[in-house]
Amino acid sequence: MNRVLNPSKYLKEIVPIGATFYIGFGIKNLTDIAKKDSDITDLVAQRKSSVIVTGKKGVLKENTKGKLVRKQPERKEDIWKHIHYYSKRFEKDIDYDREFHIWEREVLHKYNLALEIAVTPQGETILHFPAFKMADDDATYMKAGAAMNLAIALGSYFLPYNHKFEPFIPVTKLESRRILPPGNFTVYEKLEIIKKDLITNGDGILSEGNSYRFALLNEKKPSDVTMGVGGFNEYLMFEYFPDDLMVLENLKTGNATFLFTLSHFNKKADLNKQTAMTDPSFLKRIIHHNLEDWSRQFGSYFKNSK
């Protein structure tokens, strides 16, 4: 994800006014910066319950040192600085004082935001910043935006979560049926599905939620989102009118992302995992395996959505 410049578009008309929400990210996508941070390592290992996010530059530094901006109205001030360096040409130390004309600056904000740890209803371990209370004002958006950019720096993405730590997705429609159920399998096949649900990729990792995919779906600004029976534990429909694309996605790992041509997709069709790929509108099935490969394949179908 790129740096967030307009936080309101991820919250306004998505998070209800007055609602409690969190900004967070899953521990499966930690950046190198986060992996090298001993405090975050202790937090993930649950040796600490909370850590103040800080760093030497960028949004990490701004969190504890403050974000500086030009004073309004703008004006410059004169300051003197002592300059010292070693000159290889003259083989000696050089010292002198120099006057600089610089813009006067002031602290825009210094939040000292802390990270905490939680587990979602889908079993995903996430790191999140302290609770926000939704309000349609600059102060809320500015603070939430700082949390979003910190999340991107540390977890490569962010997602707003509700008080239960389920993602805030702009659901616009509800269906009184399951979306993309498993289908009609034999007893043996059902046992295999249960086994794969418990252990994915053959490496002993318990099946759990992974909100990274939902974060990317959310970033593409879906035109409509349909939730069926089972809520976030089942598949959801994401419609993208500009790209003529319908995406069926499940929050939990061990499943697959199904892509269809929206204009040819019959929303009333009784599709399941067995019949989905024979539908005339079917485009692609991307398994939940390697996130980098998933992101590359998924992103190739978006040409017009921003």
- What per-residue confidence (pLDDT) applies to 54? 96
pLDDT at 203: 42
pLDDT at 207: 47
Share of the chain above pLDDT 70, in %: 91
pLDDT at 185: 57
Structure confidence at residue 198 (pLDDT): 47
Is residue 170 classed exposed, middle or buried when 0-12, 13-18 and 19+ CB atoms within 10 A define those classes? middle
Contacts of 285 (CB under 8 A, 6+ apart): 256, 257, 258, 259, 276, 277
Predicted local distance difference test score (pLDDT) of residue 73 = 87
* In the chain, % of residues over pLDDT 90: 69
Q: How far is CA 114 from CA 37, 49, 104, 186, in A?
A: 14, 10, 29, 50
Q: Examine the pLDDT at 201 and tell me if it is beyond 70.
A: no
Q: What is the mean pLDDT of residues 92-109?
A: 88
C-alpha distances out from residue 275 to 157, 185, 286, Å? 33, 12, 16
Q: For 206-243, what is each residue's pLDDT tens digit?
A: 446 789 999 999 999 999 999 999 899 899 999 999 99
- Please compute the mean of the pLDDT values over residues 31-58 and round it to a whole number: 96
- The partner residues of 257 in beta bridges, in order of sequence, read 286
pLDDT band at 183, cuts 50/70/90?
Answer: low
* Separation between Cα atoms, residue 279 and residue 298, nearest integer Å: 19
| pLDDT digits 0-9 by tens, 247-289 | 999 988 878 999 999 999 999 888 998 899 999 999 999 988 7
The pLDDT confidence band at residue 3, using thresholds 50, 70 and 90, is very high
